Amino acid sequence: RRGESISCKVCRSTTRTTHGLTKSRTYKSWQAMKDRCYNPKNIGYDRYGERGIIVCDRWKNSFEAFLQDMGERPEDTTIDRIDNNKIYEPSNCRWASPKQQSQNQTITKLTVDDVREILASDESLKTLTEKYGVSRSSIRNVCDGKTWSDVHEEFHARQK
């Protein structure tokens, strides 16, 4: 009478069972990956969906396939596309640490040799930003060891 539907016991007993992982880090990564690619309201959509980055057909509608290919997400990692100009697919994805991620961003323009030159340089911050075409914060992060920490440690170990 109130317009509400009531399902019978048979219908309720045949409901689909799920994988039980909807609250896991792995599932949340899968959802966030799809959201970046397909939701224009997502803050990162301009760097993903708008650039034509999509999720492969195997993963797009199947968390189970994603889990089978990627495995559980290890602690302190996120999904990373090895080639940032290619789509999310098994051959182009890995679980990566923040350090790996920062060195694999589309916006990362520095090479290992550039980082070594920056660390050895006595040029001003302004000169370095112009020379390498990166932001002041990128140069500061290199100098402080927040990014490229392995090169930073190696450089300073040689200085001692």
Would you state the structure tokens that stand for residue 42, as one six-digit string?
């997502």
pLDDT, mean of residues 81-100 = 89
Per the confidence metrics, is the pTM higher than 0.85?
A: no
Q: Which of 85, 71, 58, 69 is nearest to 25 (CA)?
A: 71
Sole residue written with tokens 């370095």: 128
DSSP the chain: --S-----HHHHHTPPP--S-TTSHHHHHHHHHHHHHH-TTSTTGGGTGGGT--B-HHHHT-HHHHHHHH-SPPTT-EEEESSTTS-B-GGGEEEE-HHHHHHT-TT----HHHHHHHHH--S-HHHHHHHHT--HHHHHHHHHTSSSHHHHHHHHHHH-
β pairing state of 93-96 and 78-81: antiparallel
Summarised one tens digit per residue, pLDDT across range 145-157 is: 877 888 888 888 8
Angle between helices 63-70 and 25-38 (to 10 degrees): 120
pLDDT of residue 77 exceeding 50, the answer is yes
pLDDT of residue 89: 97
Sole residue written with tokens 């939701």: 39
